[in-house]
Amino acid sequence: MLTRLAHLSVRRRRLILVLAALGFVVAGAVGGGVAEHLSAGGFDDPSAEASQAEDVLSDELGTGSPNLVLLVTADDGGSVDDAEVAASAGEVEARLAAEPDVADVASYWSLGRPAPLRSGPEAEEESALVVARIVGDQDHVVTRADELREELGGPIDGATVTTGGYAAVFGDVGHTVEQDLVRAELIAIPITLLLLLFVFRGVVAALLPLVVGALSVVGTFLVLRILSEVTEVSVFALNLTTAMGLGLAIDYSLFIISRYREELAGGAAPQEAVVRTVRTAGRTVAFSALTVAVSLCALLVFPLAFLRSFAYAGVPVAALAGLFAVVVLPALLAVLGPRVDALSLRHRPPPPVGEGAWHRIATAVMRRPVPVIVVVVGVLLVLGSPFLRLEMGRPDDRVLPPSAESRQVSEVLRADYGSQESGTLAVVAPDTTAAGTGPALDAAIAGYATELSRLDGVSRVDAATGVYIDGTEVPVGPEVTDRFTDDEGTWMSVVPSVEPISAEGEALVTEVRATDAPFPTLVGGEPAQLLDSRDSLLSRLPLALGIIAGITFALLFVMFGSVVVPVKALVLNLLSLTATFGAMVWIFQDGNLSGVLDFTATGTLDSTTPILMFCVAFGLSMDYEVFLLSRIKEEHDAGRDNISAVAVGLERTGRIVTAAALLIAVVFTAFATSQVSFIKLFGVGLTLAVLMDAFVIRGTLVPAFMRLAGEANWWAPRWMRRLHDRIGVSEHVDLGAPTGQDPGSPHPAPAGSS
C-alpha cells in the first residue's frame, strides 16, 4: 500500500499540494473560531451520585447549589453594617435577582445578617456576601458570570463589589487558557524555526515541518468544531492540538527528510528517493502515528468530558500528522528534488558508519549491559518514588494567577470567613414519602438537618424547616426556607467550614453520606464531585491501561513479528515515565520550585492529570521506540548481527530522535509558561518525559536490553510467526538496491550500508 501511495505522491504531486492548500483554507475558515464553541468544564462524571443530585435539583426541584458569589467590601474605615453600604448592597442584590437565568439570590443583609456571611473580626477589610445560582449548562453559566461581573462589579456607595464562585473561576480559567495558547505559540514557533534551521541546516528543509504542522493543527480544529456540535469538548484540548500537532509534525518530517537526504546521497534519483523514503521511513511514521493515536484512544473509556476531549484532539492530530507526512510531504519533496537543500547552511557530512557518537555510546552500553540496567533502573525508581504519595484533587481558584479577580475573592473567603459558601454540599431527597407528610415530615427534616449540622467540618445547614448551626436552629424567615422544598421532595444546603476541595472536604462528604437519613438521599456539590470523579477514574483505569497495552502490543507485533520487542517496549516506556510522575508530585503537589515556576501548590494534583500525562507521554515514548526499533530491524534484516544492528540503528536514529525530542520539548516548554497551573504541569511534565525518554531510555536501556536478549529479540512462537506471515507488515526497501533498480526487488545489502 505504501508503494502505491508513494507513487501517487510522486505522480500527482501538484494536485495533492493544491488539494492540501484548499483543505487548509476550508479548515481554517470553519474551524478557526473553534475556541468559542468549547467548554471550560467537563470535570464531572454524568452518572455519578453527585451529578445525579445536581440533575434532580435542577430538573425536579428547580433549584441548585450557589455558583456565584459577590463579595461586597466596605471602603476603608467603613462597615458592612453601615446604612449606606446596606442600602447599596441591597440594590445590587435586587438587580442580581432581576437578571434572567439567576435564581436563589440571598445575602448577608436579606438573611438577617448571619455571622457566616460576614468576614470575621480578624479580617483586614470588612466584607459580606451576596450568593446566587446561575441556571443553565456549564457554558451558559460561565458566559452569564462574565456578563454579571461587567454589570454589577466595581464601586458602589461605601463599598466595592468583586465576583467569585465556581462560575467566575471557570470563566477566568477559560479566558486565561486562550491567552496562554496565543502566548505559547508566539514563543514556540520562532524558537522552533531557529532550531529547525540548525537541525536541518537549510531554510527550505526547515520550513517543511511547519507546513505539515499547520495542516495537522488546522485540520484538527475543524474536527473539534464538528464534534462540538454533538458533544461537549473541553477548551483545554486546544493546548494538546497545538503542542502535538507541531511536535509530531517535526518528528515525522525530520525522519522523512533525513531519510530522503540519505537516499539522495546514496545515488538515488529524486523521485526514486521519495518512493524509497515512503516505504521505509514512511512505514515507520505510519505505525508511530497509529501507536500515538491508540494511546490517546484509551481516554475515551473515561466518562469525564475533559479527558475525552484530549482523545478528540489527540487522535485526529496524530492521524493527520502521520497522513500529511507520508502524502503531502513526499509530494513537496518530489517537487523540490535536490532543491530541498536550497539555502543551506554550511555543515559537515555525517561520519562514516561506526564512528558516530551514538554508535560509541551503544557499543559502550552493550559491553556492560547488566550494570547499566541496574544503575539506570535504580535511579529511575528513586526519582519516581514521590508518586507513591500522590493526593488527588480537583481544579479550583488556585490554578489561576493571584491577579485573577475570582481567585482574589476565593482567597478572602478562605482567610476571612468561617464557611465556604461557594463549596456547599447539596443533600437531595427526591422522594420524602418514607418520612410521612405534614408535621411528621417537618420533624424528620429538622432532626436530620440537626444531625448534619453537628458533623465536624460543617458550618451550618440550610433546610426547609430552618437554619441549623452546631445542632441549634437559628430563626429565619420563609424567604430563606421556601426554596428547599416542593410537592415532590426536599433538599438541604450543607455549608462546610473546611476547604471543599481537600482531603477534609472528601471526608465530610463521606460522613454526610454515612449519616442516617429518614428518606433516600443523594449528595452533590463540588466536594462530592471530587470524590465521585476520582472513584470513576480509578474504576476505568484498568480498562484504559489494558487497551493501551493490548493494542500497542498488537501493532508492534504486526510491525516486527516478535513478542519480545513489544513486551520490552511496554516495560521501558513505563520506566521512562517513573521520573516524570515523581517530578509531578515533588514539584506541583509538594510545591518545590513553586517560586521559580510561579504557581500555587495545593497539596494535591488534579485527578485527571496523571491519566492524561500517562497517555500522552506513553504515546510520545512509543513514537521514539518505533523509530529506533524499525531501523534496528532493518539493519538486522539486511544481514547484520544483533550487536551491530543495535549500534548502527541507534547511530542512524540517535541524532534524529535527539533533535526531535529537543524540538518538541521547546513546544511543551512554551506551554509551561501558562498562568493556569495544571497547563503548566502539562508542559513541564511532558518536557521531562520526552527528554528522559530520548536521552536516557534510548541511549542506555534499549541497547542494554537488546544486547541481553540477543537473537531472541525477534522470537515469536511458531503459531504467531505463521500469523505474522499472513497479517504482518514487512514491506521495506532493501538499502543495498542500486540506483535505477526497483526499490522493492531483493538485493543483498553491502556491509556498510544504512
End-to-end CA distance of the chain: 23
At 675 the three-state DSSP class reads coil
Which cell is 376 given?
A: 539506570
**What rounded mean pLDDT belongs to the chain?**
87
Per-residue pLDDT, 741: 41
pLDDT for 308-323, tens place per residue?
999 999 999 999 999 9
Query: Is-contact 654 258, C-beta < 8 A?
Result: no
Give the residue with greater pLDDT, 652 vs 513: 513
Nearest in space to 625 (alpha carbons), one of 702, 679, 685: 702
Per-residue pLDDT, 742: 40
Topology of the domain covering 353-387+565-711? Multidrug efflux transporter AcrB transmembrane fold (1.20.1640)
Measured distance CA(481)–CA(519) in Å, rounded: 19
Query: Residue 512 — very low, low, confident or very high, per pLDDT cuts 50/70/90?
Result: very high
The residues, any chain, with a CB within 8 Å of residue 242's CB and separated by 6 or more, are: 181, 184, 185, 217, 667
pLDDT for 459-478, tens place per residue?
889 899 988 999 999 877 77
Reported as half-sphere exposure (CB side, CA atoms, 13 A), residue 37 has a value of 16
Query: Is-contact 653 631, C-beta < 8 A?
Result: yes
Per-residue pLDDT, 549: 92
Residue 265: count of CB within 10 angstroms of its CB:
11
CA 711 to chain centroid: 39
Give the residue with greater pLDDT, 482 vs 705: 705
pLDDT for 652-700, tens place per residue?
888 888 888 888 898 889 888 999 998 899 889 999 999 998 889 988 9
pLDDT for 170-218, tens place per residue?
889 888 888 888 888 888 888 888 888 888 888 888 899 999 999 999 9
Percent share of the chain, pLDDT over 90: 48
The yes-or-no verdict on residue 225 having pLDDT over 80 is: yes
Per-residue pLDDT, 733: 43
Which cell is 560 given?
A: 516486527
Per-residue pLDDT, 140: 87
What global pTM score does this model have? 0.83
Give the residue with greater pLDDT, 743 vs 681: 681
Which cell is 672 given?
A: 509551561
Per-residue pLDDT, 429: 93
Domain range list for the chain: 1-31+201-349, 49-168+405-527, 353-387+565-711
Query: Where are any strands of DSSP class E within 29-180?
Result: 68-74, 102-107, 127-134, 154-156, 159-164
Pairing state between β 392-393 and 605-606? parallel
Residue 185: count of CB within 10 angstroms of its CB:
17
Measured distance CA(326)–CA(286) in Å, rounded: 8
The residues, any chain, with a CB within 8 Å of residue 98's CB and separated by 6 or more, are: none
The yes-or-no verdict on residue 730 having pLDDT over 80 is: no
CATH of 1-31+201-349, one of 3.90.180.10, 1.20.1640.10, 1.10.1240.10, 2.40.50.100: 1.20.1640.10
Per-residue pLDDT, 550: 92
pLDDT for 57-72, tens place per residue?
888 887 877 889 999 9
Per-residue pLDDT, 591: 93
Per-residue pLDDT, 23: 95
The β-bridge partners of 460 are 495
The yes-or-no verdict on residue 734 having pLDDT over 60 is: no
The yes-or-no verdict on residue 87 having pLDDT over 90 is: yes
Can you tell me the mean pLDDT for 508-514?
A: 95
The β-bridge partners of 392 are 605
Point out the least confidently predicted range of 261-275, 702-716, 740-754: 740-754
1-31+201-349 and 353-387+565-711 in the same fold: yes
The yes-or-no verdict on residue 739 having pLDDT over 60 is: no
The residues, any chain, with a CB within 8 Å of residue 403's CB and separated by 6 or more, are: none
At 344 the three-state DSSP class reads strand
Measured distance CA(498)–CA(201) in Å, rounded: 59
pLDDT for 421-447, tens place per residue?
767 899 999 988 888 888 999 999 999
Per-residue pLDDT, 744: 38
CA 431 to chain centroid: 39
Q: What is the dihedral of CA 116, 121, 124, 127, to 10 degrees?
A: 30
Element at 472 (helix H, strand E): strand 472-474
pLDDT for 489-508, tens place per residue?
899 999 998 888 788 888 99
Per-residue pLDDT, 740: 39
